[in-house]
Amino acid sequence: MVTENPTSPRAGIAVKVPRLNWVFRGFYGQFYQSPPLATITSQQFLGVVNIPGNQGFIPLQGERDTEFQYGVTMPYKGWVMDIDNFRTRSYNFLDHSQISYVVPGSPGLVQTNIYLPLTTQDALIRGWELTLRSPRLWRRGQLHLAYSNQIAEFAGAITGGLTNFNFQDGYAPLDHDQRNTLNVGYDVALPWQSSVSGNVYYGSGFHNGQAPPDYLRAHTTVDFTVAKSFAERFSVSVNALNVTNSHLEIDNSATFGGTHFNDPREFYGQLRYRFHF
């Protein structure tokens, strides 16, 4: 048994500019994630399937991340805009690999829906984000927007877990790489202690591990809520998710859940009572 006790130094700073009231900030940190304490071994697995000759198991490694962040918050007449940039470099990045096996007398590999943990030599996750929040407009409504552009890639060899000992020369997308996401929403206070809110979410599509194409289709969903309060303790709301009933594939990896799509249109109600203590 091997025990690791790494240090994780972290430091941050924020500076506010007088009169302008802009806040500049920066962060540096190191993080460690221990590998799973237990997994399958090649001896155990050989009793179930026949592992191809070019595959094998090697010990899992602990993940070590180095993260940089910097950004600025800019208020102006009740509006607040925030922009930040981040970059995470990960060694022994914890991921997963699909189990495939050989059936004697059959060509090729049989793909299963079983995944085991693995660690990759190098992963790079980087991007930038923007958020915008309005003041209370006309004393009624407030708008918000959040946009993210993120790239998640890996390179090098498999350093732990089930591997075929190949080497990824240059960076390639991770399976959860989705380049662009956008949320736009509003919240409006109405007479008689009621309110209405909505949100539009857009995603450019996750990386398609079974390329081509390289990425799955973009997807957009619309959510809507109407709420009303009674006195001080009771409130009721009606919520509608995926109002347009969009039906889009969001993952086609052979995991336990299998190929799956986003949730269909959904309605639900909520009743709240706030106790007074």
pTM metric for this prediction:
0.76
Kindly state whether residue 143 falls inside one of the protein's structural domains.
Answer: no
pLDDT band with cut points at 50, 70 and 90 for residue 47: low
- Are residues 98 and 205 part of one domain? no
Does 274 lie in the same domain as 158?
A: no
62, 157: one domain: yes
How far is Cα 254 from Cα 165, in angstroms, rounded to an integer?
21
3 & 107 share domain: yes
Q: What is the pLDDT of residues 231-262, one digit of tens each?
A: 778 889 999 998 888 877 766 665 555 566 77
Residue 214 has pLDDT above 80, yes or no: no
Q: Is residue 20 part of a domain?
A: yes
191 domain-assigned: yes
In angstroms, the CA 32 to CA 88 distance is 13
Whether residues 160 and 193 fall in one domain: no
Give the number of other CB atoms < 10 A from CB of residue 174. Answer: 19
State whether 68 and 103 are in the same domain. Answer: yes
42 vs 198, residue with greater confidence: 198
| Token reading at 273 | 């009572």
Answer yes or no: is 140 within a domain: no
Rounded CA-CA distance 238/225 in Å is: 6
Answer yes or no: do 168 and 195 share one domain: no
Enclosing H/E stretch for 111: strand 110-133
Q: Which helix (H) or strand (E) holds 46?
A: helix 42-46
Are 156 and 66 in a shared domain?
yes
What is the chain's mean pLDDT, rounded?
Answer: 81
Shared-domain flag, residues 169 and 64: yes
Q: Cβ(223)–Cβ(240) under 8 Å?
A: yes
| Cα–Cα dist 10/51, whole Å | 43
139 within some domain: no
Indicate the residue type of 244: T
Domain count of the fold of the chain: 2
The pLDDT of residue 258: 56
Report DSSP letters for 51-106, one per residue: --TT-EEE----EEEEEEEEEEEEEETTEEEEEEEEEEEEEEEEEEEEEEEPPTTS
Q: Name residue, tokens 């590999």.
A: 109
Same domain, residue pair 154 and 270? no
- By the 8 A CB rule, do 176 and 203 touch? no
The answer to whether residues 4 and 127 belong to one domain is: yes
Q: What is the mean pLDDT of residues 213-229?
A: 84
Residue 250 lies in a domain: yes
- Give a yes or no: residue 207 inside a domain: yes
| Three-state secondary-structure class, residue 230 | strand
Alpha carbon dihedral 115, 121, 127, 129, in 10-degree steps, equals 60
Evaluate whether residue 141 is within a structural domain: no
Structural domain of residue 240, as residue ranges? 178-277
97 and 157 part of one domain:
yes
Cis? peptide before 9, omega within 30° of 0: no
Model confidence pLDDT, tens digit, residues 56-86: 777 788 889 999 999 999 999 899 999 999 9
